[in-house]
Structures are given as structure tokens and as C-alpha cells.
């Protein structure tokens, strides 16, 4: 039987293997903490160790951290997946199914920025509903601070921006 700390790592690997895309840190955390498998600090240590061991790949976009399973992680999970109980596997699958349904029901509002050749920044703001792009807007801003500010406020202000655009155009 695996130690509890090893079990947390296996749960994370299993979640990533069975998700339809990358998972955010908060999605993984919500699952583990809601079921009281462990505390936040031990969970973050487990995630960190998985990244350090190259079993999980971490990336950041728009102030969110995303995780994906590496080939090494897939191979590790194949070898140790029997250590996870069928009850835990079922809970993970149910959570991921409910998570996928929630994602489909909601709007996504990704925002990202990149530097331009002129020394300013270009910010790309989008509204995506059910996988369909409703708005795809690129704007130029003078500096990094402005780009970060626009990206941070987009999830809270996209509806007002959309309403104003539609008001002007219709």
C-alpha cells in the first residue's frame, strides 16, 4: 500500500491523465481539499515534487498556473495506478466530468499580452462561449504595467466592454 503522500501524487497524476486538457492549480486543489485528503501545504509540496521529477509540466498564462502530464508521468502512472483505489478513481472521474460540464456552461475570458517591436505591448482579449469565439480583440498599450492591468481586469469588465461595443455598433 502506498504512503499517503505518494497517494496524493498518484491522484494528481490520475487527474491529469483523465482530464480533457490542462488543469489549473485551483482545480487540483479544489478536488483534493474538498475531500479532505490532505492540507494545502502538503498538496503543494506534492505538486512541486511532481514538477521537479518531470512527471508533470507546469506553465503559466494570464496569472494562472496550468499542469499537464508528461510522458514520464504517464509511464509512472501506468506502473503505480493499481495503488489508487477504485473509489478514488471514480471520484476523480466524476469530478472531472462535472468540471467539464461547468466549463462548457461558462464563458471563458482569456487575456494575454506580448511585447511589440516598437517597445509597447499588444494585449489580446477574448470571450469564448461553448468553444466559439464571441469577441477577439487586440489592443496596443504603452507598457508592461498597462498590459498586466488590462489582463487582470478583463475577467471582471468583459461584459461592460462587450455591451459598449454592441451599443456603438447596433
3-state helix, strand, coil in the chain (%, to 5): 55, 25, 20
Helices 4-18 and 71-80 meet at what angle, rounded to 10?
120
Q: Above pLDDT 70, what percent of the chain?
A: 91
102 or 9: which leads in pLDDT: 9
Q: What is the rounded distance in angstroms from the CA atom of residue 163 to the CA atom of residue 10?
A: 45
Q: 4: pLDDT confidence band, cut at 50, 70 and 90? A: confident
Q: What is the pLDDT of residues 44-76, one digit of tens each?
A: 999 999 999 999 999 876 567 889 999 999 999
What pTM was computed for the model? Answer: 0.60
Three-class DSSP category at 147: helix
Which grid cell is 149?
492591468
Q: How many helices (H) and strands (E) would you count in the chain?
A: 6, 7
Question: What digits encode the pLDDT tens for the residues 131-169?
Answer: 778 899 999 999 999 999 999 889 888 888 888 888 898
Amino acid at each position: 500500500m502506498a504512503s499517503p503522500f505518494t497517494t496524493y501524487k498518484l491522484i494528481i497524476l490520475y487527474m491529469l491523465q483523465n482530464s480533457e486538457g490542462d488543469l489549473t492549480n485551483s482545480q487540483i486543489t479544489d478536488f483534493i481539499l474538498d475531500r479532505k485528503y490532505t492540507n494545502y501545504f502538503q498538496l503543494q509540496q506534492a505538486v512541486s515534487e511532481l514538477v521537479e521529477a518531470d512527471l508533470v509540466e507546469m506553465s503559466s498564462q494570464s496569472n494562472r498556473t496550468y499542469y499537464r502530464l508528461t510522458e514520464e508521468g504517464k509511464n509512472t502512472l501506468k506502473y503505480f495506478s493499481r495503488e489508487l483505489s477504485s473509489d478514488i478513481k471514480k471520484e476523480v472521474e466524476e469530478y472531472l466530468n462535472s468540471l467539464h460540464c461547468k466549463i462548457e456552461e461558462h464563458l471563458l475570458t482569456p487575456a494575454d499580452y506580448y511585447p511589440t517591436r516598437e517597445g509597447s505591448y499588444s494585449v489580446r482579449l477574448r470571450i469564448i462561449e461553448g468553444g466559439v469565439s464571441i469577441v477577439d480583440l487586440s489592443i496596443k498599450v504603452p507598457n508592461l504595467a498597462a498590459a498586466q492591468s488590462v489582463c487582470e481586469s478583463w475577467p471582471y469588465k468583459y461584459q461592460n466592454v462587450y455591451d459598449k461595443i454592441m451599443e456603438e455598433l447596433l
